[in-house]
Structure 1
Amino acid sequence: MDKNKKIIKVDENKCINCQACIKECPVKICNEVSNDHVTVNNDLCLACGACIDVCKQNARKGIDDIDKLKEVFNNPEKKAVAVISPTIASNFPGSYLKINTFLKENNFDLCINSSVGAEIAAKTYKEKLDNSNANTILTANCPSIVTYVEKYKPELKSYLINSASPIIHTVRMIRNYKIKYKNAEFFAFTPCYSKSKEFEELDENINNITFRSLKNFWQNNNIDINKFEKSKYDYDTVNKGAFYPLPDGMKDILNFHYPEFDGKYRGVNGKENIYDYLDKLPESILKNVAPDIVNCQNCKNGCNLGHGTLNRLDKNNKPVDVIEIEASKLHEEIKSNENTVKSLKKKYWKKELYHRDFHEYDNIYWKEPTEQELQNIYNKMNKFSSKDIYDCGACGYETCQDMARAIFNDVNKPKNCHHYHKLKLKRENKKDKKYISKLSKAHDNFMEKLQKDSENLYISVSDLIDEIHDDNDELKKELKNILVKYNISEEMIILIRRFGKNYTDTIKKIQKQLRHMQDKSLIIRKSINKVTDMKEE
């Protein structure tokens, strides 16, 4: 796979900067807010996929290596090996063995279920447990959990078991014991986008294909998987290995291979549980009450509901009971004689072959602002007293202080604070009210003057009529026609009422009406002058 490739991709045109992804993210800091959308820092991201679920705009999607499949399909000379997670059974119930046929008809040489690797991993676990100085060990099968411990909880790193995941066990077994496939191209069919992180970190050169992408590939290429016949996995010497994706799966495998194992085991799964558990685990270890083995899984009910699965697309999610039944069907279809399975450890296990190390990371932590720096940021967020600290969570962070820390670390902006917008709108509304008040006052003054001018004009014309002798009917008639023709006082009243109903009309409209009245005033004045001239004659 490509080094340092993005695993979570953001469509900037769809993102509306709603901050839901930040709220859902276990670590927050990997989300960086630009002007109008949220990007992902791949180096800090756990690739847990939580943000994909919560994004209602479909602006986020997981990236795997599905494009590499076409290269194999179009190149029959290239050796290719498929290592398939047992979670395939719950994602393609009734058709998962047909996928083997589909792949082999498209130039794959081997199709192996990683349950084989899980059986061998039992031996690795036992060796590590027997030689560990730690009273508690954390499984390292979930890449999101490993990344979290390595980058955000390094004090727990010494408790991670130095054992590769069952998929890596399977790949290394093939490369070391099936020599002709040593340089083949390996494809892992998994429920998980974060597997790409694991393969990259361990430099295993494995392509990651999620079940979701596989289904889309079929749809885009008009492939009906049900038209293929079923075919068995290669090297399907397994027993309990099919259960390893389940929360208690590793416990079942250990007990099968080592019945004497009686260590205290705890399976913790689901984003809403595991990260809080890990944060509090050091205290449990200190008090000597932690279990011997903690099987850590990012996804609720284990890997069968991973973010690259079809099960995850089901809004109601499959009940765990159904998933376990489907896993059991796979177990029944591929299980082998107990003695044959147990012989795997002798045949394919080699000391340190399945060992893995963990990385040291520096400068992952957020810079912490001083009290003064924190206050300065609060001020930028329009927070000037303790009453402004709402901790409402609308920004995606649990507290206002966490939001301020994000701003201090340049991964968010003050404008994304709900209170910031609320106060800004309040201030703008206050300014608008002052403006409207001034405009209204100016309008009232104008209308008052206009009304007085109208009344004075009406009085002037009326006075002229009264002054004309009764025998000068022609002049009186002309003046009355002026009042009738221009309806001065009534027109003024209508104009006043019109503005009174909507005093927020623009100045331009007022000016237009004023010019109109001025034009009428000139006409009236000319008429009055005409009448006056007639009177003088």
Structure 2
Amino acid sequence: MGIIDFKATKCKHCYKCIRNCEVKAVMIRNERAEIMPDQCILCGKCMQVCPQSAKTLISDLELVKEYIRQGKRTVISLAPSYMGLLKYSSIGQVNGALKKLGFSDVRETAEGAALVTAEYTRLLEEGKMDTIITTCCPGVNDLIEIYYPQLIGHLAPVVSPMIAHGKLLKRKMGYDTKVVFLGPCIAKKKESEDPRHAGYIDAVLNFSDLKRWLSEEGISIEECEDIPFTNENPRVNRLYPVTNGIISSVVATEKEQDQYRKLYVHGIKSCIDLCESIKEGSMNGCFIEMNICSGGCINGPMVEDEKISRFKVKLDMEESIEKEPVPWEEISPKIDRISFQKHFMDRAPEEAMPTEAQIKEIFKMTGKLKPEDELNCGACGYSTCREKAIAVFQKKAELNMCIPFMNEKAESLSNLVLETSPNIVLIVDKDMKILEFSKVGERYFGISRQEALEMYLYEFIDPSDFQWVYQSHQKIHGKKVSYGEYGFSTMQNIVYVEKEDVVLATFIDITREEEQAKQEYEMKLETIDLAQKVIHKQMMVAQEIAGLLGETTAETKTTLTKLCRSLLDEGSESEVK
């Protein structure tokens, strides 16, 4: 469709768009929201409520600028809501500002509304239709064609003021003229591309586009020249964008009072409720003005100025706009030459419905085994668990969209870890208040989990390491800490969890390893002591042996010396003889 741009990277699977979409034209795929073009009525609510601004409107602004740069005759069809939504001293200044931007002419869409009013008046005078629903709002037309096709026969077979005006301007100025619609509605873009009347509106801008463009060019409407509009005064038809505006225009234009009861409804929820009433047959002989936007077009999805009060705008417009109809002689020549008829069609999507057994199977996968398990909390965006199960079957929703189920699953997994882990698990906040205390911790510290969750960490162990981790956001890994008073030793890993602003710690029991290491150390000391004693003894033996060897050597030396002397003496005596 190319009208609402979706940024999947920003979608945080919050389901807010589904909760606020009355027709559930948003699907979840791979945990990301996607708009279903064939079911979307372009109310714009998803854009307004998206907390991440993941959905934005595709703008025709650059296309319109290009028309003007190329010198093409470009005319604005200005929605009457401008009278309450733009700031000016006189309405001619709006004309002057748009002329400054380069538009060849500026015409009020209310000129087309006068033609539509004439068509509605004709239908009322003919009295052939039981109940008549106005078709000025493209959102209403989509709602009925897609979701209430049985009511198509109640839709007035008339184009909207925008299309009527486009037809009029093309006929009057030439079909090569570029007609640009300017208003607060996003559904008008889809309507302009509808094959049933394509080619009459070449581009659609909203007031946000206009304000951005004026700002870029440094143009202030209130400082612009007051240039009167060239179209005939549309008078009461300028009231179309406020609630009861269409009825006011019709009543003022009628030649004689018709027999239809008049009713106006605004806001998508009210429109749906009314469609249900008509479908049930409780509404007959009515002329119904319907508008998807609560408060009418003056509260359209592209009215971004929060300072604008739709109530004040309605009062101001009703007070300032004359209630006189456009003279018939101004309208009749235009109606004679142009057809403003529209044929509506059944566009309801064909979707398979699950059997009761299939719904129960989906319920089973999300832990809903009994009727009381169906909480119908609406967190997933659907009103009931049954609606969500049907959406899952139709591949519009995913199982994990059930928040209570996922929460229960997460809690069960968390409890499983806490209950089965052989390690002590502790979680504390910035004040060292204990937020989680694993089952195994009860055995080591002698306090129950319930007691621990009421305590602060410093009440039974030193919190210094935890405080350092919280303040520095750095981790402690593999630090040995012994708790002599509790009789065990630990290997500790302590980290800061930024998302939750808490400190998480796991204590691994290394008491046995430490005792074993101590025993091994003591054995080493004993071995060293024994070795030292052996060395000492060996030294003593060596010394004793050395002493004995010394004495023996000395005695041998003396004896041999004596023997040598004796031999020498004997030799001397023989020579003398």
Q: CA deviation at 1:101?
A: 1.7
Work out the CA distance in 2 between the residues paired with 1:356 and 1:423.
53
1:444-479 per-position Cα deviation (integer Å, ceiling 9, x unaligned): 9999xxxxxxxxxxxxxxxxxxxxxxxxxxxxxxxx
TM-score by length of 1: 0.80
Of residues 305, 312, 315, the one that matches 1:324 is 315
Name the counterpart of 2:413.
428
Name the counterpart of 1:483.
none
Higher relative contact order by CA 8 Å / sep ≥ 6: 1 or 2?
A: 1
Name the counterpart of 1:276.
273
Name the counterpart of 1:154.
149
Letter in 2 for 1:384: L
Contact in 1 for aligned 2:135/2:156 (Cα 8 Å): yes
Q: How many residues align?
A: 473
Could you say what secondary structure the match of 1:349 adopts? Answer: helix
Work out the CA distance in 2 between the residues paired with 1:89 and 1:445.
76
Name the counterpart of 1:401.
386
Structure with greater strand share of residues = 2
Name the counterpart of 2:5.
9
Of residues 361, 364, 382, the one that matches 2:347 is 361
1:234-280 per-position Cα deviation (integer Å, ceiling 9, x unaligned): 21332211111122111221122214134311000012311122122
Of residues 182, 189, 194, the one that matches 1:196 is 189
- Residues 304-453 of structure 1: matches in 2 within 5 Å? 304-310=298-304, 313-314=305-306, 318-326=309-317, 328-329=319-320, 331=321, 341-350=327-336, 353-361=339-347, 364-436=349-421
Work out the CA distance in 1 between the residues paired with 2:153 and 2:528.
108
Shift of the 64–359 alpha-carbon distance from structure 1 to 2, 3 Å rule, reads farther
TM-score by length of 2: 0.75
Q: CA deviation at 1:317?
A: 5.2
Shift of the 224–73 alpha-carbon distance from structure 1 to 2, 3 Å rule, reads farther
Unaligned runs of 5+ in 2: 425-437, 446-480, 495-503, 538-577
Shift of the 339–66 alpha-carbon distance from structure 1 to 2, 3 Å rule, reads closer
1:218 aligns with 2:203: no
Name the counterpart of 1:473.
none
Name the counterpart of 1:493.
484
Could you say what secondary structure the match of 2:60 adopts? Answer: coil
1:187 aligns with 2:187: no
Structure 1 range deviating more: 237-246 or 348-357:
348-357
Work out the CA distance in 2 between the residues paired with 1:91 and 1:50.
19
Q: CA deviation at 1:324?
A: 2.9
Name the counterpart of 1:128.
123
Name the counterpart of 2:458.
none
Structure with greater helix share of residues = 1
Name the counterpart of 1:139.
134
Work out the CA distance in 2 between the residues paired with 1:430 and 1:380.
20
Work out the CA distance in 1 between the residues paired with 2:505 and 2:243.
68
Could you say what secondary structure the match of 1:61 adopts? Answer: strand
> Which structure has the greater CA radius of gyration?
2
Name the counterpart of 1:460.
none
Work out the CA distance in 1 between the residues paired with 2:488 and 2:216.
66
1:297-325 per-position Cα deviation (integer Å, ceiling 9, x unaligned): 01111111111224xx41x7514143331
Shift of the 220–58 alpha-carbon distance from structure 1 to 2, 3 Å rule, reads farther
- Residues 27-106 of structure 1: matches in 2 within 5 Å? 27-28=23-24, 30-76=25-71, 78-94=72-88, 96-106=91-101
Q: CA deviation at 1:126?
A: 2.2
The percent of aligned pairs where both chains have the same amino acid is 23
Name the counterpart of 2:523.
525
Letter in 2 for 1:280: S
Of residues 169, 177, 196, the one that matches 1:174 is 169
Work out the CA distance in 2 between the residues paired with 1:40 and 1:339.
41
Letter in 2 for 1:274: C
Shift of the 101–270 alpha-carbon distance from structure 1 to 2, 3 Å rule, reads same
Could you say what secondary structure the match of 1:13 adopts? Answer: helix
Work out the CA distance in 1 between the residues paired with 2:147 and 2:50.
24
Contact in 2 for aligned 1:163/1:355 (Cα 8 Å): yes
Could you say what secondary structure the match of 1:343 adopts? Answer: helix
Contact in 1 for aligned 2:97/2:220 (Cα 8 Å): no
Q: CA deviation at 1:516?
A: 5.3
Contact in 2 for aligned 1:238/1:341 (Cα 8 Å): no
Work out the CA distance in 1 between the residues paired with 2:513 and 2:415.
32
Shift of the 351–106 alpha-carbon distance from structure 1 to 2, 3 Å rule, reads closer
Could you say what secondary structure the match of 1:267 adopts? Answer: strand
Name the counterpart of 2:247.
251
How large is the Cα RMSD of the aligned pairs?
Answer: 3.2
Work out the CA distance in 2 between the residues paired with 1:445 and 1:243.
77
Shift of the 534–442 alpha-carbon distance from structure 1 to 2, 3 Å rule, reads farther
